[in-house]
Amino acid sequence: MNFIVALFIFILLLVQVVATAILLSRLIKGAVRQPAIAPREPTPDDLGRVSIVIPTLNEVDRLSPCLEGVTRQSYELREAIVVDSRSRDGTPELVQAAAHRDPRLRLITDDPLPAGWVGRPWALHTGFLNSSPESEWILGLDADTRPHPQLVASALQAALRGGYDLISLSPQFLLEYPGEMVLQPALLMTLVYRFGPTNTDAGSPERVMANGQCFLCRRAVLERVGGYTRARDSFCDDVTLARAIARAGFKVGFLDGANVLQVRMYEGALETWREWGRSLDLKDACSKAQLWGDLGFLVAVQGLPLPIVVAGAIALAIRGVEGSLSSSAIALLGLNGLLLAIRFALSAAISPSYDLRRSSPLTALLFWFSPLADPLAVIRIFLSSLHRPKRWRGREYGEF
C-alpha cells in the first residue's frame, strides 16, 4: 500500500512539474507585454470608419450604460445598430428613445432563428449584413458593456498601429457582491493559465483568445470568411470566429482594454457560476483533445495546489515534521506551495482589470482571497465540458 501511495505521489509530481513548466512559459510573456491601450482622440482619417453592432434579448436592465457610452463616441462612429431578438421587457422602446437623441443609433429586429444557429452570432451576422458598406470596420459590443467615450477611436487606432485585421479587448470588470468577488477572478484565471496574458502572441490559431464583448474586425475580413457563419452554432462564437480568421492567415490580437471598457457581466456568484461558467471551457472552438488536455492542465496547476498544501499542512501537524513525509511528498508539497504563491501574486497582476473602488472595503478585500475559489473554478470548467448548454440567454436549444 505504501508503495502504491509513493508511486502515485511520484507520478503526480512529474505531471505537475511538466504543467508548471508550461504555465511559466506562458506567464513569462507578461513581463514584456504591451501596456493596456490608452484612451485616444480620433483623427480626421478615422471619420466614419466604424459601425457598431449590439445584439440584445431582454436587456432593458443592463443596456442603458452601453447606449450612453455609444452615443458619446465621436465622428469615427458612422452608426450603431442594435439587433433585437424580439425582446419583451422594453428593450426596443429603450433603444428607440436613445435613437431620438442620437440619429446614429438604429434598431432592427432579426429574423426568426434559423436551424443550426445560436442567437448571438445570428444577431451579429444580421447586424453585419445591415451595416453601411462605407464602414471599414465592424465593432461587436455586448449590452452589458460600458464604453469609454474614446473606446472606438482607441480600439481602431490600436488595430491600425499593430497591423491587425481583428482585435478584441479585455475589459475592466465591475463586481459588487462578496461571492462574485471571490469566484469571478478564479474563473478568469482559468483563461490566463490556458492562454497567457493579453497583448501577447498566441503562437498558433488554436491558442488564440478573444472577447466578444468588444470585437473589432475589418469588414473585408468578415466578408472573406462569410460573416459570422463560421461561428453560427458556437456558444463561444467570439473565440470560434477569431480562430477561424487566424487560420485564414489574418492577424488577430487580444489586447488589454481596461482603460477604455468596463463591463458588469452578472449579478452575484450564482449567476456568474451558471452563465459564465458554462462557456469558459471553449469546447465549441477546439478539439476534444485540446479541451481535455487544457482541463487536465488546469487541474494540475490551479485545481490541486490549494488542496495539496492544506492536506500536507494537516499531515505535518498530525505526524510531526521529521520523517513524516517522503522526499517526493516534500517536493510535491513545495511545488504546490510555489504554485499557490504564484496564484496569489497573479491576483496583484490582474487587479487593474477590476474596479475595486465600487465595492465596500470589506467586499473589495475578498478579491485577494480569490485563489481559495480556484478548485471550484476548475470543477465548473469540468462540469461545463461534459455537455453543451440547452438554454442560453432565455432561449432553449436542442441538438445541432
> pLDDT for 341-357, tens place per residue?
999 999 999 999 999 98
Whether pLDDT at 113 is above 90: yes
Residue 336 lies in a domain: yes
Q: How confident is the model at residue 323 (pLDDT cuts 50, 70, 90)?
A: low
Instruction: Take residue 191 and report the three cell numbers written for it.
Output: 483563461
Our count of domains for the chain comes to 1
Whether pLDDT at 399 is above 80: no
Match 483568445 to its residue by C-alpha cell: 209
- Out of 73-77, 115-119, 313-317, the most confident range is 73-77
Query: What integer pLDDT is reported at residue 322 of this predicted model?
Result: 52
Average pLDDT, the chain: 93
Residue 136 lies in a domain: no
Residue 275 lies in a domain: yes
Q: How confident is the model at residue 1 (pLDDT cuts 50, 70, 90)?
A: low
Whether pLDDT at 396 is above 90: no
User: What CA–CA distance (Å, rounded) separates 240 from 249?
Assistant: 15
Query: Tens digits of per-residue pLDDT, 16-70?
Result: 999 999 999 999 988 888 889 999 999 999 999 999 999 999 999 999 999 999 9
Residue 111 lies in a domain: no
Bridge-based pairing state of the strands 166-170 and 145-147: unpaired
Query: What integer pLDDT is reported at residue 359 of this predicted model?
Result: 85
Stretch 141-164: mean pLDDT = 97
Query: What integer pLDDT is reported at residue 139 of this predicted model?
Result: 98
Query: Tens digits of per-residue pLDDT, 306-318?
Result: 999 999 888 888 8
Query: Is 281 strand, coil or helix?
Result: coil
User: What CA–CA distance (Å, rounded) separates 258 from 326?
Assistant: 46
Chain-centre distance for alpha carbon 343: 18
Contacts of 334 (CB under 8 A, 6+ apart): none
Share above pLDDT 70 across residues of the chain, in percent, rounded to a whole number: 97
Residue 278 lies in a domain: yes
Residue 52, judged by CB atoms within 10 A of its CB (0-12, 13-18, 19+), counts as: buried
Q: Tell me the β-bridge partners of 101.
A: none
User: What CA–CA distance (Å, rounded) separates 57 from 24?
Assistant: 41
Range of the structural domain that residue 344 is part of: 11-41+150-386
Q: Are 136 and 49 in contact (CB under 8 A)?
A: yes
Whether pLDDT at 398 is above 70: no
pTM above 0.85, yes or no: yes
Residue 2 lies in a domain: no
Residue 106 lies in a domain: no
User: What CA–CA distance (Å, rounded) separates 392 from 279?
Assistant: 10
Whether pLDDT at 304 is above 90: yes
Query: What integer pLDDT is reported at residue 360 of this predicted model?
Result: 87
Q: What are phi and psi of 51, to 5 degrees?
A: -110, 135
Residue 232 lies in a domain: yes
What's the Cα-to-Cα distance from 166 to each of 136, 139, 203, rounded to whole Å? 12, 10, 16
Query: Tens digits of per-residue pLDDT, 231-246?
Result: 999 999 999 999 999 9
